[in-house]
Amino acid sequence: MSLHATIDRVTDRIRERSAKTRAAYLAKIARAAEDGPRRAHLSCGNQAHAYAAMPDKEDMARTRKPNIGIVTAYNDMLSAHQPYERFPDIIRRAGHAAGATVQVAGGVPAMCDGVTQGRAGMELSLFSRDVIALAAGVGLSHDCFDAALYLGVCDKIVPGLVIAAATFGHVPAVFIPAGPMPSGLPNDEKSRVRQQFATGEVGRDALMAAEMASYHSPGTCTFYGTANSNQMLMEFMGLHLPGSSFVNPNTPLREALTVAGVQRAAAITRLGNDFLPAGEVLDERAFVNGIVGLMATGGSTNLVLHLPAMARAAGVLIDIEDFHDISESVPLMARVYPNGLADVNHFHAAGGLGYMIGQLLEAGLLHPDVKTINGTGLDGYTAEPKLDGDRIRWEAGASETLNDKILRPATDPFAQTGGLKQLQGNLGRGVIKVSAVAPERHVIEAKARVFSDQEQVKAAFKAGEFTEDTIVVVRFQGPRANGMPELHSLTPTLAVLQDRGLKVALLTDGRMSGASGKVPAAIHVSPEASVGGPLARVRDGDVIRLDAVTGRIDCLAADFDDRQPAAFDPSTSSEGMGREMFAAFRAVAGPATEGAAVVV
């Protein structure tokens, strides 16, 4: 199948836009790789320090075995990352069996947005991505590694690790997932109890019971939010092994896939015959394939922030118009919560990513000729891993969906488009995800209520102040104001208003979680209010039109352009919970349209 015209056109546009930066990037990683294995250039003293704690240090000093560095996001507070506790030992054994040596190069922080939602700590969340990239860079700076294994799953962790992998693009990179927890309380039931709690119908005991039944074991949360969107992305971009994203933790198949990942890392070093620097995998075609996967699965809007930042680290420049145009041409093939009732385990059982990649390749919607850690070509990602004793063999994956309520072919999708829209108008540029929003709510024209933080919205709700159709404007939530926290804790409140029959929407320069869905939300609006962006000129009572059909966000007040912007008060978000330490990040963060990044 020839490549779809829109995919071809968008890829060419990205390639042209990135010509200078990509060329400079490739020249940089070529210079870093030209001297061969990096350890050969360390002095004897440097090497002795590096090998002192290794049981096979004498072997390290005498041989040319590949040395694999692990960058791990392990901690035992995050359910998704707790399984990584066992991985270094598994990886060491597998590495030694493959003729390699292994060291943990360093750890990176991994915070849980589920714990920090609605709390001050959430204002550190987005910038943790940049800290993760920096921390990974520190670990890799020892210049001892012939390949790197990246252990990370959740929201900011994978993007931060990809930024590091791209920055050290001369080093081969393999990403190793931990997998989702088994299915627990259905996500729609959890959401229903949250709304009942918001209205006072049930108490905290019922809410706690529902939450504990939903988040109940090691592994990624089972809804299709940012964490699981990340895992999809790594497979579509060729940084995971095929079929590895959604295998549950602590199972024989999960362990065998980890071993296979180590074997592959050893094979693609400069010391083998398949040298594959990470920077060669991370080209414009890989990022386009990732965006296609995001649209076909109805993935998290957070990736609209993360992908441009990740791409910049590899010299590739992505704009939100690229997301919009790809979304218009890619069918929505999956219904996974919050876009449906299924969770990621059900999606995987229905045929999962292998089936979807096969369908999209047949439709000409993916670049087939990309470099991946599995070898050249994306067609290998239609295969499914199976256990053969304690080893992996890949066999043909599902050629038909096994549940068409969850996963459909590209020729008969749930929707003809991916559901992500670019918005622009006199309020700036932003995005909206409409894949879970009822069509009758795609256009809302209503009076604005303006707030400076989400707690003010909740207080107004409790006071019964929302009695008519309303566009809730929450401003001063951008990266340079307070670090751009997610506003996911507003979802139950806004959903209750919507269920009462009101037309309601959110308009913000902040973020919504990848777990948000049915309430229209115009997010990532840029320029942000704290630097004088248009949201700073909105007043209570202004009529705002949010039109996801035509892609417009406009304030209809006649004097709007002539108003003085409201001033941002930084005192509410500059102290406590470590926010003091991130003042330097807030001062230099880029705009949301470019990934809201600090380090790229």
User: What order of strands is seen across the sheet that includes strand 147-151?
Assistant: 101-107, 67-72, 147-151, 173-176
More confident residue, 34 or 239: 239
Q: Which among 325, 550, 555, 320 has a CA at the least distance from the CA of 430? A: 320
E strand intervals along 434-483? 443-451, 470-474
- Cα(404)–Cα(78) distance, integer angstroms: 33
pLDDT 10s digits, 156-190: 999 999 999 999 999 999 999 999 998 888 878 88
Q: What share of the chain in percent tops pLDDT 70?
A: 98
pLDDT 10s digits, 485-506: 999 889 889 999 999 999 999 9
Q: How far is CA 512 from CA 95, 255, 506, in A?
A: 41, 34, 9
pLDDT attached to residue 423: 97
The mean of the pLDDT values for the chain is: 93
Place of tokens 């005498």: 62
Q: Where are the domains of the chain?
A: 5-182+217-396, 187-215, 420-594
Q: Which among 117, 122, 115 has a CA at the least distance from the CA of 483? A: 122
Q: How far is CA 29 from CA 71, 88, 90, in A?
A: 20, 28, 30
pLDDT attached to residue 61: 62
Phi/psi of residue 2, each to 5°?
-70, 155
- Cα(126)–Cα(476) distance, integer angstroms: 15
- Cα(184)–Cα(187) distance, integer angstroms: 8
Q: Which among 164, 170, 306 has a CA at the least distance from the CA of 232? A: 306
pLDDT attached to residue 560: 97
pLDDT higher than 60, residue 514: no
Instruction: Tell whether residue 221 is among the known ligand binding residues.
Output: yes
**Residue 439: band (very low, low, confident or very high) from pLDDT cuts 50, 70, 90:** very high
Average pLDDT over residues 276-282: 97
Q: Which helix (H) or strand (E) holds 555?
A: strand 552-555
pLDDT higher than 90, residue 383: yes
pLDDT higher than 80, residue 56: no
Amino acid at 537: R
Residues 6+ apart with CB under 8 A from 388: none
Instruction: Tell whether residue 144 is among the known ligand binding residues.
Output: no
Q: What share of the chain in percent tops pLDDT 90?
A: 78
**Residue 36: band (very low, low, confident or very high) from pLDDT cuts 50, 70, 90:** low
What's the pTM value of the predicted model, to 2 decimals? 0.94
- Cα(456)–Cα(297) distance, integer angstroms: 34
- Cα(338)–Cα(318) distance, integer angstroms: 26
Average pLDDT over residues 456-485: 96
Q: What would the two tokens of residue 528 be?
A: 């942000």
E strand intervals along 164-267? 173-176
Upstream peptide bond of 66 is cis (omega within 30 degrees of 0): no
> Which three-class secondary structure state does DSSP give residue 211?
helix
- Cα(349)–Cα(338) distance, integer angstroms: 18
pLDDT 10s digits, 87-128: 999 999 999 999 999 999 999 999 988 888 888 888 899 999
**Residue 59: band (very low, low, confident or very high) from pLDDT cuts 50, 70, 90:** low
Cβ neighbours around 540 below 10 Å, total: 10
Upstream peptide bond of 109 is cis (omega within 30 degrees of 0): no
pLDDT 10s digits, 339-352: 888 989 999 999 99
Pairing between strand 543-547 and 552-555?
Answer: antiparallel
Q: Which among 158, 178, 181, 345 has a CA at the least distance from the CA of 257? A: 178
pLDDT higher than 60, residue 563: yes
Q: What would the two tokens of residue 599 be?
A: 């380090």
Largest CA distance in the chain: 77
Q: What would the two tokens of residue 45 be?
A: 């003293």
Work out the end-to-end distance of the chain between its first and last CA atoms, rounded to an integer number of angstroms: 36
Phi/psi of residue 54, each to 5°?
-85, 135
Query: Which class is 420-594 in CATH?
Result: alpha beta
Phi/psi of residue 381, each to 5°?
-85, 5
Cβ neighbours around 462 below 10 Å, total: 11
Cβ neighbours around 169 below 10 Å, total: 25
pLDDT higher than 60, residue 515: no
Q: What would the two tokens of residue 10 be?
A: 């968008």
**Residue 58: band (very low, low, confident or very high) from pLDDT cuts 50, 70, 90:** low
Residues forming a β-bridge with 508: 474
Alpha helices by DSSP H, listed for 215-351, are 226-236, 252-267, 278-281, 284-297, 302-313, 320-329, 344-349
pLDDT higher than 80, residue 41: no
Query: What is the Cα gyration radius of the chain?
Result: 24
Q: Given its phi and psi angles, is residue 351 left (phi above 0), alpha (psi -120 to 50 degrees) or beta?
A: left
Q: How far is CA 495 from CA 226, 423, 498, 598, in A?
A: 20, 22, 5, 34
Torsion sign across C-alpha atoms 293, 294, 299, 300: positive
